[in-house]
Amino acid sequence: DAKTTQPTSMDCAEGRAANLPCNHSTISGNEYVYWYRQIHSQGPQYIIHGLKNNETNEMASLIITEDRKSSTLILPHATLRDTAVYYCIVNANFGNEKLTFGTGTRLTIIP
Amino acid sequence: ETGVTQSPTHLIKTRGQQVTLRCSSQSGHNTVSWYQQALGQGPQFIFQYYREEENGRGNFPPRFSGLQFPNYSSELNVNALELDDSALYLCASSDLAGGFPETQYFGPGTRLLVL
């Protein structure tokens, strides 16, 4: 599995856009980029995933660079409830979907 | 559509005991994966079950075992508990259709404390 690198922690003001970067320089052509978040002591929550095109859903947007070596998760209007650990994962285990979590980015939304 | 559920929510055991954790997969999902999350770390893959067969295993000893039932619910069994087994145990379900990595949806977890 390709490995990912994320900043350990970030702060963002409430109401502003939170931009969370992720490097995955060794990603393979068939690997997707997934984002999950984990609010304290709860199970990880799926946010979004993509292969090479930018993606948007009701929670967030995912911007993937053209070379696919990095991506950015964007929370457009951060609220206090977005305070969580955010995990960027690459996954292409067809038929054997082991998710390899790193340590993630601890995002704190400041009132 | 119901989400992934796990039971119990919390559990306290002593060293050497055995424990069984349970997971009900999301409606329509045929695959269950189990993860262990120690305090301050990301979840670590234990194993996955697809249609009642083990379909991949992480770096965990044989005293970690599992089952999947015809309704796709699953159990995680841990024998001879050790202090280091204290962790949040997470279950995730997905629909392994083949050809694509399918999104895994997690349950709330079971917090196990071994004394």
Please state, in angstroms and rounded to a whole number, the distance separating the CA atoms of residues B79 and A49: 36
Q: What letter would DSSP give residue A81?
A: G
- Cβ of B19: how many Cβ atoms within 10 Å? 18
Contact A94/B98, CB-based, under 8 Å?
A: yes
Residues of B in contact with A44 (CB under 8 A): 43, 90, 92, 106
Task: Using CB atoms, pick whichever of B33, B42, B94 lies closest to residue A87.
Answer: B42
For A72-90, write each residue's pLDDT tens digit: 999 999 999 999 999 999 9
Check residues A93 and A82 and name the one with the higher pLDDT: A82
Check residues A97 and A43 and name the one with the higher pLDDT: A43
pLDDT tens across the length of chain B (115 residues): 579 999 999 999 999 999 999 999 988 888 999 999 999 899 999 999 988 999 889 999 999 999 999 999 999 999 999 999 999 999 999 887 655 657 889 999 999 999 9
Over residues A42-67, the mean pLDDT reads: 94
A 43-82 residues with CB < 8 A to B: 43-46, 49
Q: Is the peptide bond before A111 cis (omega within 30 degrees of 0)?
A: no
Task: Using CB atoms, pick whichever of A87, A92, A96 lies closest to residue B56.
Answer: A96
Return all residues near A17 (Cβ < 8 A) that are at least 6 apart.
Answer: A74, A75, A76, A77, A78
The shortest C-alpha distance from B18 to chain A (Å) reads 23
Whether the CB of A40 is below 8 Å from some CB of chain B: the reply is no
* CB contact at 8 A, A2 and A27: yes
- The residue behind tokens 């949040």 is B88
Confidence of residue A111 (pLDDT cuts 50, 70, 90): very high
- State the pLDDT at residue B27: 85
Sign of the CA dihedral with B32 first, then B33, B37, and B43 last = negative
| Radius of gyration of the CA atoms of chain B, in A | 13
Check residues A111 and B1 and name the one with the higher pLDDT: A111
Query: Two tokens at B64?
Result: 């970690």
Check residues B7 and A102 and name the one with the higher pLDDT: B7
Contact A99/B33, CB-based, under 8 Å?
A: yes
Over residues A90-110, the mean pLDDT reads: 83
